[in-house]
Structure 1
Amino acid sequence: MPGASLWIIPPKDSSFSQALQTLISTTIPPHFPDTKTHDFIPHVTITSNIDQSLFGTDPQAWLSSLHLPSGDQHDPVFVTLDVLEAGDAFVKKLTLRAGKTAQLLQLASACRAEAVEGGDQGKAEKWAHDYYLPHLSLM
């Protein structure tokens, strides 16, 4: 996946975020001694393949300029976690599948339209419904 990714993360001080971080950093790695693991912030990827030229040297300004579906960029996005899955891909070795809720699909397609599809909302909505596989990586 070349390019940058846009994530949503749980509130850092929440017990949920702390529990996820403990799983990622401490609990899971010893169970896979032959697998190289990485420490990372708990997140659900909203979209990827974002060309760096879009945000340049001021990513925060670009993020602030995104036209998000809700009126407030700080409105919470609720994510449902459905099933634990194991896979072969580097970024999907151990994941919790996230439900494709209407709110998450709306956010993903809005971000994808601006960040990847050059404003083409129809193309972004098709991607969100047909190809987007929201998940929370644990390893």
Structure 2
Amino acid sequence: MPGSSLWLVPPPDHPLSAILTNLISSTLPSEFPSEAASSPRVTPHFFSPHMTLTSDISPSVYGSDPQAWLDSIPLPFADSVKVRFGKVKSQEVFYRRCYISVGFEGVKDIAGVARARGVFREEDQNGEKTKQWLERWRAEFGPHVSLM
């Protein structure tokens, strides 16, 4: 995937931050030690807990001041973003080896804004391209928090 991604991350002092970090960096890797792995695809990779809002953001969008670009995005108020965890799932796809599904309705607005501003720069989150992308994202990939 060329470009950058925009993530939704729990605040460092939120209880979920420690729980998810422990699952990603310790609990799950101990269940799948790399020397017992049958394929490099199951070797643990360590990353911060997050839900990807969008990807493929060209560096030309945020230029030399990514923080200024982020600050210019009219993100929804925090109380309107509802990360509702679903089931723990697994697929034979690298980025969905083990993940927790997230309810679409609670994050669609923030994901729509992220996609509209990061990729479809000529429209807002209610634009036709963004609406189509949101439905495709929901059906094909869906919001989730990767664990492994």
1:1-139 alignment runs, 5 A limit: 1-33=1-33, 34=37, 35-70=42-77, 75-76=78-79, 77-101=81-105, 103-120=106-123, 121-132=127-138, 133-139=142-148
Amino acid at match of 1:138: L
Amino acid at match of 1:131: W
1:15 CA displacement:
1.6
| Deviation digits for residues 56-78 of structure 1 (CA, Å, limit 9, x no counterpart) | 221111100112244xxxx2422
User: What is the deviation of 1:11?
Assistant: 1.4
After superposing on structure 2, the runs of 4+ consecutive aligned residues of structure 1 that deviate more than 4 Å are none
Structure 1 CA distance, aligned partners of 2:50 and 2:130? 21
Structure 2 residue runs of 5 or longer lacking an equivalent are none
Aligned-residue RMSD, C-alpha = 1.4
Compute the displacement of 1:125 (Å).
Answer: 1.6
Please state whether the residue corresponding to 1:131 is helix, strand or coil: helix
- Please tell me whether Structure 1 or Structure 2 has the larger radius of gyration of its CA atoms: 2
Name the structure where helix makes up a greater proportion of residues: 2
Using the size of structure 1 for normalisation, the TM-score is 0.89
Please list the CA deviations of residues 43-89 of structure 1 after superposition, one character each: whole Å capped at 9, or x if unmatched: 1111111111111221111100112244xxxx242200111111122
CA deviation map 1:14-63 (0-9, x unaligned): 22110110000000012112121111110111111111111122111110
Calculate percent identity across the aligned residue pairs.
39
Q: Provide the rounded CA distance (Å) in 2 between the counterparts of 1:131 and 1:48.
A: 11
* 1:111-138 C-alpha deviation (Å, 9 max, x unpaired): 1111111233221122112324100000
Gaps of 5+ in 1: none
SS in 1 for 2:20: helix
Tell me, in whole angstroms, the C-alpha distance in 2 between the residues paired with 1:19 and 1:53: 35
